[in-house]
Structure 1
Amino acid sequence: MESYYLDWANLLLRWVHVITAIAWIGASFYFVMLDNSLEKPQDPESIDKGVGGEQWAVHGGGFYNMQKYALAPKKLPDHLHWSYWESYSTWLTGFALFTMSYLWNASTYLIDKSKMDWQPGAAIGVALAFFVVFWMVYDGICQIFGRRKNGDTIVGVLIAVFIVFATWLACQWFAGRAAFLLVGAMMATTMSGNVFFWIIPGQRKNVQALREGRPVDPVHGQRGKQRSVHNTYFTLPVLFAMLSNHYSFTYTHKYNWIVLLLIMLGGAAIRQFFVVRHRFKLGNAGNPLPYALIGIVVLGLTIVWMKPEPMAAPAAAAAAPAVAFKDVQKVLEQRCFMCHGAAVQMKNVRVDTPDQVAAHAQAIYQQVVVTKIMPMNNATGITEEERALIGRWFQAGAKTN
């Protein structure tokens, strides 16, 4: 009964997380599009007010005129719309999910003893340190190099190098599935950190200065813009990292850290296509198509490179020694019953009777032999010989009598 309520909690929390993430990413994408779609105002009144750019749009049967001031209006309205709760809610629900799914069950989901045989407390501490250390290094890079000549390029290169290192390290220390999610959560934490520590505080200082009749310091807008740009390029890589736990062929690959980096690179290139596309439509940038092609080529080559080796031919499998079902049952009893037996049925799957094994034969073969994601992080120590035995049993017809 406890697992039933935990499943509901996980489902509802995940639902809220997706909703808030859609709201945050949607707002982020919209304002990036808006910033890159602004045209110089033609109306003298708008120019006199200090409007630096505007966009006319039609949506939902109505016409809209969005204006952005070069610095700030002379007088602020009583009501201002702020965009920050989307970010905070996304991070809070995401961290709660990470805690519930990975930190709370560190022995099962976070730790792969074939990579690092450590205690749950140590693994949890190091995982949390990834969030803190990445933010500190990232923030330090931005503050030290961000305002120098060619600062954006220097910052971009240094951050990319650090992401490569962090991705490699996570995949060496943690279970592949957890490592992918940890890298995504690390970057998502930095995105929310940008909003919490820089973008919103800078905006509050500007608003306070305007209300008090003081000049606005443009550095706050410049810093906020820089961090906002970083966030938009992090978005697609983070989304992939969050979705990757559903696709075991990515995080179980021998070189899973390279897989993650290549797919994140492809995502960032495709995001660049959309960013530049808005300026291109106004004649303010070159054709963005090469960025899309780079992203597609990177993803395509990754798919080809990851292609699994062909399985043994049926004839070869038939030539192998016949497998008795009692031998398969013995493996299942030792390696699978603890999570899929009479006492516990994770994901409502049981394999402790012949009928149940027959009903799940395809899934057993896929999860144990092909993708090798079960047992989870090989917590029960199944051997390659035992996987091969199950494979021969399935290829011979998966008989249970």
Structure 2
Amino acid sequence: MDAIVWEWVNFMLRWLHVITAIAWIGSSFYFVHLDASLRRREGLPKGTHGEAWQIHGGGFYHMVKYNVAPAQMPDELTWFKWEAYATWISGFFLLVVLYYRGADLFLTDQTVMELSQWQAIAISAGSLVLGWVVYDRLCKSPVGRNDTALILTGFALLVLAAWGFSEVFSGRGAMLQVGALIGTMMAANVAHTIIPNQKKVVADLLAGRSPDPALGKEAKQRSMHNNYLTLPVLFLMVSNHYPLAFGTGHVPEIVALVLVVGATIRHFFNSRHAGKPTPWWTWGVAVAGVAGIIWLSALGPNADAVAATGNGAEPVEFAQAEEVILTRCSMCHAEMPAWEGLPAPPRGVRLDTPEEIQRHAGQIRLQAVLSDAMPPGNITMITPEERRVLAAWTNRAN
């Protein structure tokens, strides 16, 4: 019964996380689009940056942005913060329920580094705090006054973090950890910079003081960081479902390419919304980046074993592959899993009969040959020789 309850807790948290993320990303994309589409026209109130007319749902909307703040505080003001907070909170609880609770399966890999569950959790949680502090201090340093230098330095630090995580966690855990770090930075931008700066502006208006323009400039810089990081963080969060993304031993390189691809796609749309010349080159960069990711995924940890299964290779009988699978996989992938906490075989995949093994040959090749995704965290200590057996058999079976 406990396993069933935890499975539904996982499901409900994932559902909540997706809902709140949609709300946060939607509002973020909308306001960046609105800010880029503002145009200056005669007759606008003093101190305004520009206006935009929009139509949606059968109604017309007239948007006006002030450079710093209006002359007096309006009676009603809508704050956009709870979407970010709810997304991070639900995501952190999902991290706890899935990755911290199941650290031996999803977070660690004893062949990468021998870690206890609590050691892995401490490194994971501590790196989220440390990552935010380093990023925040970087933004407030002299480097932060130059957007280009800040972007390049931040990019290098994220790739370095990806390399560090890949030296500590499983590929799945490392990819997820980079996503959690970026998500933490984004949510902390809202909680510790954007909203506090907006509150200072409101307090100045209520006190009859002129707000400091630097507050708005700093908040906008962090908001743009969030905008350009949104697509990469979505890739990293979804990657745990795709073994060729996390299980081929190239986490830092793939993270680097994803950061570039996501940022160039956002640059294309931001430029279009601003009425600037259309940067069609961004799609060339994006396609090249995706091609690079696919190429890296083909250079998996078992590439030599795959190459050795071509024409003329010594055949492997099904019985040899079956022995490996029953020894290393079927304790989870069985009608009644023997692994504690699993109420049913993951994704409904059973590997406890010859017929089921034959039927899932393609998935076995993807998960255990073309990548090291399975067994998760190599919890059953499958050997390279056993993977070569699976490579040879699945090559014939497919």
Query: Does TM-score exceed 0.5, indicating one fold?
Result: yes
Secondary structure of 1:173's aligned partner = coil
Residues matched between the structures, number? 386
Summarize deviations over 1:10-51 as a string: whole Å, max 9, x none: 1221111111111101111111111111111322xx334x32
The alignment's TM-score, normalised by the length of structure 2, stands at 0.89
Match of 2:63 among 66, 89, 103: 66
Percent of aligned positions that are identical? 39
Summarize deviations over 1:159-200 as a string: whole Å, max 9, x none: 122112111111111100111110011011000001000110
Mapping of 1:239-388 within 5 angstroms?
239-279=234-274, 281=275, 285-307=276-298, 315-316=311-312, 319-320=314-315, 322-323=316-317, 325=319, 327-341=320-334, 342-344=336-338, 345-347=344-346, 348-388=348-388
Q: 1:81 to 1:324 in 2, by over 3 A?
A: closer
Summarize deviations over 1:135-156 as a string: whole Å, max 9, x none: 11100011112664xx222322
Contact 1:41 1:52 in 2 (8 A): no
Match of 1:201 among 196, 205, 209: 196
Shift of 1:329: 4.3
Summarize deviations over 1:300-332 as a string: whole Å, max 9, x none: 343345445675667535x42x5252x444323
Aligned to 1:47: 45
Counterparts of 2:168 and 2:42 in 1: how far apart (Å)? 58
Ranges in structure 1 where 5+ consecutive residues have no aligned partner: none
Greater relative contact order: 1 or 2 (C-alpha under 8 angstroms, separation 6 or more)? 2
Contact 1:268 1:295 in 2 (8 A): no
Match of 1:121 among 115, 118, 121: 118
Shift of 1:226: 1.1
1:176 aligns with 2:174: no
| 2:376 aligned partner, one-letter code | M
Aligned to 2:133: 136
Shift of 1:234: 1.0
Q: 1:307 to 1:108 in 2, by over 3 A?
A: closer
Mapping of 1:202-217 within 5 angstroms?
202-217=197-212
| 2:323 aligned partner, one-letter code | K
Q: 1:397 to 1:85 in 2, by over 3 A?
A: closer
Secondary structure of 1:334's aligned partner = helix
Shift of 1:261: 1.0
Contact 1:110 1:175 in 2 (8 A): yes
Give RMSD over aligned pairs: 2.3
Contact 1:106 1:123 in 2 (8 A): yes
1:32 aligns with 2:32: yes
Q: 1:298 to 1:353 in 2, by over 3 A?
A: closer
Aligned to 1:14: 14
| 1:68 aligned partner, one-letter code | K
Shift of 1:112: 1.0
Contact 2:298 2:370 in 1 (8 A): no
Contact 1:177 1:251 in 2 (8 A): yes
Contact 1:39 1:54 in 2 (8 A): yes
Shift of 1:340: 2.5
* Segment drifting more, 287-296 vs 9-18: 287-296
Shift of 1:353: 3.5
Q: 1:155 to 1:368 in 2, by over 3 A?
A: closer
Secondary structure of 2:141's aligned partner = helix
Shift of 1:128: 1.1
Secondary structure of 1:338's aligned partner = coil
Summarize deviations over 1:195-226 as a string: whole Å, max 9, x none: 00011011111112212222212221111111
Contact 1:145 1:155 in 2 (8 A): no
Larger Rg: 1
Counterparts of 1:154 and 1:343 in 2: how far apart (Å)? 52
Contact 1:84 1:200 in 2 (8 A): yes
Contact 1:335 1:380 in 2 (8 A): yes
Contact 1:131 1:186 in 2 (8 A): yes
Contact 1:41 1:47 in 2 (8 A): no
Aligned to 1:156: 151
Shift of 1:114: 1.4
Contact 1:41 1:51 in 2 (8 A): no
Shift of 1:368: 2.5
Contact 1:56 1:64 in 2 (8 A): yes
Secondary structure of 2:167's aligned partner = helix
Counterparts of 1:356 and 1:102 in 2: how far apart (Å)? 28
Secondary structure of 1:182's aligned partner = helix
Ranges in structure 2 where 5+ consecutive residues have no aligned partner: 339-343
* Segment drifting more, 378-387 vs 298-307: 298-307
The alignment's TM-score, normalised by the length of structure 1, stands at 0.89
Counterparts of 1:217 and 1:368 in 2: how far apart (Å)? 57
Contact 2:248 2:370 in 1 (8 A): no
Counterparts of 1:12 and 1:218 in 2: how far apart (Å)? 42
| 2:285 aligned partner, one-letter code | I
Contact 2:231 2:263 in 1 (8 A): yes
